[in-house]
Every structure is written in C-alpha cells, then in structure tokens.
Amino acid sequence: MMTRQLPKIGMAWGSGAARGWAHVGVLKALDELGIEVTVEAGCSVGALVSAARRLGVWDEFLTWAKELDPIGAFGHFAIGIGAGGFINPARAFEVFRYADKDICDLDKPWGAVATDLATGQEVWLTRGSVLDAARASSAIPLVMQAAPVMFQGAERWMIDGAASNPVPVSLARALGAERVISVDLNASAVTLTRFDRPTTRAVVPVEPEPVEEESFLPETVTSLIRDTKNFLDREITMARAKAKSKPHLFETAAATMDIVQAHLAQARAQIDVADLRLTPKLDDISAAAFDRHEEITERGYLAAMAKKDQLLAIAGLYEDEDVRAPAGTGS
C-alpha cells in the first residue's frame, strides 16, 4: 500500500508581545491534532516562540517567560537609553546562549523577519545565530534597543519585523512551505479603546448627594447647597477622568505600533494569502499583559481548535479528498 505524501506545513507566527502566549496555545492544539510543522517563519514574539522550540529549550523558555510580569521583567533586562530604546534585552538572550545554533544547522527550515532601520526594508534572516535573529526581529521601536546583525556581508541595525511584515506568510512560502497557517495576534488594535476619553459630563457617573430628612435651613437653601455640591462633584470627576485618559510616552509608542501592525497585517493578509488564518480573540488584552499568560494561551488553543477540521484538511490528515480545504481559504 502506498503511503500518502503529506504536504509541507508552514507556520507564520505573528508579532504581538505578551499576546504571543496565544502561539503557545496554538502549538498545543497542533500537537494534539498530530499536525507536523515543517517550516516556521516568525515575526517578533513569533520568532522568539518558534526559536525556543527549534533550539530545544521549550520548557526553560516558558518558565522564563512566565516571570515577565510588570515587575519581574526588570530582572531580565538592562534599563538605559541607547540604540533607539530604553531596554537592552541582551541579558535575557544570554540565558539561552548555550543552546544557540546557526539557522542553517537547524533540522527544519526556520526564519525570522526584521526591518532594516537604515532603509526601512523588510529583511529575512535565514542565516547566522538563531538568537540574534530572534532578538533583531523583536526590537520594538522606542522600547527594545535596535540590534546589530550581519546581513549580506555588512553589519545592519535591525528593528522589529512588525514594522514591515507582522505575519510573515511570504517568508514561510519562500522557505518551502506548501501550505501555510498564519497566526495573527493583531486582528484588532486593542489600544484604541484606551484613548476613548469621555467628552460629556453625562458619561461620568457621580453619586448624587442624598436628601436630608431634616434640616434647620430653609428648603431652598438646602436644595441650592445640594445642587452646588453635586455640580462640583461632577466637574471634579470629569477632570479626573480626562486626566487619566491622557496618553503617556510608552503607551503612546505601544498604541502606535499596535495600530500600524493591525492595519499592515490586514493589508498583507490580502496579498500574502495563507491557506488558513487564525485570529485568536485578543481585542481586550494589551500587548503588555504578560501576567495573563494562562488566559492568552487558552485563547490561542481555542482559536486553533475552533478550526480543527480545516487544520486537519490542510495538513492532509483527512482520507476523504472532498473535505480537504482548498489553498487560499484564508480565515
């Protein structure tokens, strides 16, 4: 009996910082379904997650990543202004340096996408150090310091691949994937809601002053005092709400990247069409929500399992050809 030749499955792992925990959930689902991934292309956190699997440090990486809450993260990074960012991630990457390999020495095709700071061009990193490629791919502008990488015989400064190709379907195909599954973590720009500040006093809830049953003052005077206090309470509450809604430096930078990634990923998805596009529901989760790793992982898992039949069909694991999803089915 002839053995059926299964297609080479490629994964395009998208950018998204803390939302990258959804990639962990998708991987869990793929493992449960018995889908073998042959080719991987990653952008930013997608490059980090896929690199950890390829280098054989998966468990260590997950343990390390779970410590990246708003406080614990400072123990892993060096803080200081330089090379276009406040955070130097070199210390964190050195933790896994012992397992680093040349990309060409990996057992299966892998690559990361970065953006050349000098030219703005998308760069495919498919040679050299896996860790250096992952670091360059995840150098978030204004946050992570740009990374120097040897590219085409010269040292180039690279920033986050999300600035040019947030979900690298094109790279996955170039690496030999016959069918590509993409995981887009930025289908909606969650940070937009942060700046939707109240514009009228009607939207600011204020508890009205209770009416006193007895007062030695005339009713007209009591009513005037109560109405005046309610008015001042509303004005103060409104002022506080407006002050809290003002954007700050880091969240403005994060919001800008979030918006750009959402629009760019959507545009690229129309050009570089994946056979299946997974979009975990993350519209209420900030890219900095590292402490919600269990919840984000679960959402990635559920997004993949919701497309179970399509995943199995694309992977060629259905015997019946009639149920196989055609290429370019998208999301």
b/e map 293-310, b = 16+ CB within 10 Å: beebbbbbbebbeebeeb
3-class secondary structure, 201 = helix
CA distance readout (Å), 122 to 61, 132, 211, 235: 27, 16, 66, 50
Are 43 and 137 spatial neighbours (Cβ–Cβ below 8 Å)? yes
What are φ and ψ of residue 203, in 5° steps? -90, 0
Q: CA-CA distance, 274 to 268, in Å (whole number)?
A: 10
Give bridge partners of residue 267 from the DSSP assignment.
Answer: none
Q: What residues are labeled active site?
A: 44, 160
Are 38 and 108 spatial neighbours (Cβ–Cβ below 8 Å)? yes
Are 161 and 15 spatial neighbours (Cβ–Cβ below 8 Å)? yes
Are 258 and 189 spatial neighbours (Cβ–Cβ below 8 Å)? yes
Q: CA-CA distance, 170 to 176, in Å (whole number)?
A: 10
Q: Hey, what are 190's tokens?
A: 């969650």
Q: CA-CA distance, 228 to 8, in Å (whole number)?
A: 72
Q: CA-CA distance, 231 to 237, in Å (whole number)?
A: 10
